[in-house]
Amino acid sequence: MPRSTPSFARRVGLAFSVLFQPELAARLEQLRNPEASAPAATAAATVPSPAVAVAPANASAAAPVLRESSPEAALQLLGLLQREARFVDFVQEDVAAYSDADVGAAARVVHEGCRKVLREHFSIEPVRPEAEGSRVTLAEGFDAASIRLTGNVVGSPPFAGSLGHRGWRVTDSRLPKLAQGHDASVIAQAEVEL
């Protein structure tokens, strides 16, 4: 049975979960590239995905260098989304008790604020220029880091298929500089009215 594609809002929620939960990001990476995290015997027993290079089975192969990410930029982005779109307030709210119309009205405000933050602080372009649903052919050597194959992936390139999502790439980032001593973990101050 084919899996349904999550909605845009669900994908955004998942993206933020991966961004702020390193353990979830590691599990996702393991799902996307099981060969790199499995022992050589397990990797040899699985059918490699053409979109992912299979790690050599010998023990002398160099493991990828992992670098520690600083959370400040992610926290800063979350703070900007909160300030302009009340993003955290919206996501933390239990919307089950509200009508679809109320949730939709709130989503419009959140959407506009999020869009403002993205436009102000990032330059974003599609990974693929074609319209979604277009037929595309991927030649041997295609960039597996920016294109994920889905569906019944068998054989080797060239692959012909339908573009399900154009993908997005950040070409420029313009986050404000943080003052020394600024606590980026406070993404929204508590408000006390006097």
Contact present, 136 and 146 (Cβ < 8 Å)? no
Kindly state whether residues 123 and 139 are assigned to the same domain.
Answer: no
Domain housing 109: 70-127+172-178+187-194
**Coil, helix or strand at residue 31:** helix
pLDDT band at residue 8, thresholds of 50, 70 and 90?
Answer: low
Beta strands in 79-184 (DSSP E): 122-126, 135-138, 159-162, 168-173
pLDDT band at residue 29, thresholds of 50, 70 and 90?
Answer: confident
Beta strands in 16-167 (DSSP E): 122-126, 135-138, 159-162
Counts of helices then strands in the chain (DSSP H, E): 7, 4
Is 33 contained in some domain? yes
Going by C-alpha positions, the residue among 51, 24, 50, 52 that lies closest to residue 38 is 52
Is 62 contained in some domain? no
Of 43 and 112, the one with more pLDDT: 112
Domain count, the chain: 3
Kindly state whether residues 115 and 95 are assigned to the same domain.
Answer: yes
Instruction: State pTM to two decimals.
Output: 0.61
Kindly state whether residues 16 and 50 are assigned to the same domain.
Answer: yes
Kindly state whether residues 102 and 123 are assigned to the same domain.
Answer: yes
Q: Is the pLDDT of residue 39 over 90?
A: no
Is 104 contained in some domain? yes
Q: Is the pLDDT of residue 108 over 80?
A: yes
Q: Which residues contact 43 (CB under 8 A, 6 or more apart)?
A: 34, 35, 54, 55, 57
Kindly state whether residues 145 and 111 are assigned to the same domain.
Answer: no
Q: How much is the average pLDDT of 161-173?
A: 95
Is 91 contained in some domain? yes
Contact present, 74 and 19 (Cβ < 8 Å)? yes
Q: Is the pLDDT of residue 141 over 90?
A: yes
| Torsions phi, psi for 86 (to 5 deg) | 55, 40
| Torsions phi, psi for 137 (to 5 deg) | -120, 130
Going by C-alpha positions, the residue among 128, 164, 121, 125 that lies closest to residue 143 is 128
Q: Residue 94's pLDDT is what?
A: 93
Q: What secondary structure letter does DSSP report for 148?
A: -
Kindly state whether residues 77 and 119 are assigned to the same domain.
Answer: yes
Q: How much is the average pLDDT of 81-94?
A: 95
Is 1 contained in some domain? no
Q: What secondary structure letter does DSSP report for 74?
A: H
Kindly state whether residues 33 and 105 are assigned to the same domain.
Answer: no
Q: Residue 59's pLDDT is what?
A: 46
Kindly state whether residues 120 and 139 are assigned to the same domain.
Answer: no
Q: Residue 146's pLDDT is what?
A: 95
